[in-house]
Amino acid sequence: DGEAGADALGLDEELKVSRKRNPVAKLDEARLLSQAGIPKLRKTARTKLKFKGKGHEFSDAVRLLNLYQLWLDDLYPRAKFADGLTMIEKLGHSKRIQVMRREWIDEGKPKPLWSEGGI
Partner 1 sequence: METDSGSQAQVVDPEVRAYIYSLLTALGGTGGSDTGQYVLGDDALACLRDIKKWLKFYDEKANRMDVARCLAEAELVNRDLLPILALYGDAAQDDKHKSRILLACLELLVPLTWPLEIHSQMTVNHHRHTPYLRHSQVMYKRGILGHGTSQILRAVIRIALPSVTIPRSERSSRDEGILKLMLYLFRNIAIITPSPHLAGEGDEEEASRSATITTFHRQDVFALLLTMCSNMGEDFTFQDVIILEILFHLVKGVDAKSLFSNDKQHGVMETNALQGILEKEDSVKREYSKNAPTRHNRFGTMIWVKRGEEKMSTVSGQDILKDERTALLKMDKTKKWNKPKGRRNDVDVSINNFNVPTTLTSSAAKHLRTFVGEFLDSGFNPLFTQLRKAIEREADRVTEATQRQFFYVISWFLEAERARRTQQKELRQRNQNARDIEPDSFGLVASVLNQETFIALSRWMQTFLDNKEWQDVNATMRCFTQILLTVQEMSASPLDEDQEIAENIQNRIFYEETTHDRILSILRNYKDQGFWYLDSCTELAYVFLRMLEQYSKQNVDMQVRSRRRGRRKKAAEAAKDQNNPEGGESESEADDTAEATRTAVERSFDFKRFAPKFCTQKSVNTFIAFTSFYRELNLEQLKRIHRFFYRVAFKQDLSVLLFRVDIISLFYKMIKGPDGLDPTKPIFREWEEFVRQIIKKLIKKLDQRPELIVEMLFSKINATVHYLEYGYEKQTVSSE
Shortest distance, position 7 Cβ to partner 1, whole Å: 48
List the Cα angle 89/41/102 in 5-degree steps. 60
Instruction: Identify which of 44, 103, 50 has the alpha carbon closest to the alpha carbon of residue 70.
Output: 44
Residues between 93 and 112 that touch partner 1 (CB under 8 A) = 93, 97-98, 101-102, 104-105, 107-109, 112
Let me know: does 91 contact 98? Beta carbons within 8 Å. no
Query: Which burial class, exposed, middle or buried, applies to 72 when counting CB atoms under 10 A from its CB (0-12, 13-18, 19+)?
Result: buried
Q: Annotate 74-115 with DSSP letters as a single string.
A: HH-TTS-HHHHHHHHHHHTTSHHHHHHHHHHHHHHS---GGG
List the one residue from 5, 20, 89, 111 that touches partner 1 (CB under 8 A): 89
Residues between 29 and 88 that touch partner 1 (CB under 8 A) = 38, 41-42, 44-46, 48-49, 51, 53-54, 57-58, 60-62, 64-66, 68-70, 73-74, 77-83, 85-88
Q: Which residues bind partner 1 (CB under 8 A)?
A: 38, 41-42, 44-46, 48-49, 51, 53-54, 57-58, 60-62, 64-66, 68-70, 73-74, 77-83, 85-89, 92-93, 97-98, 101-102, 104-105, 107-109, 112, 115, 118-119
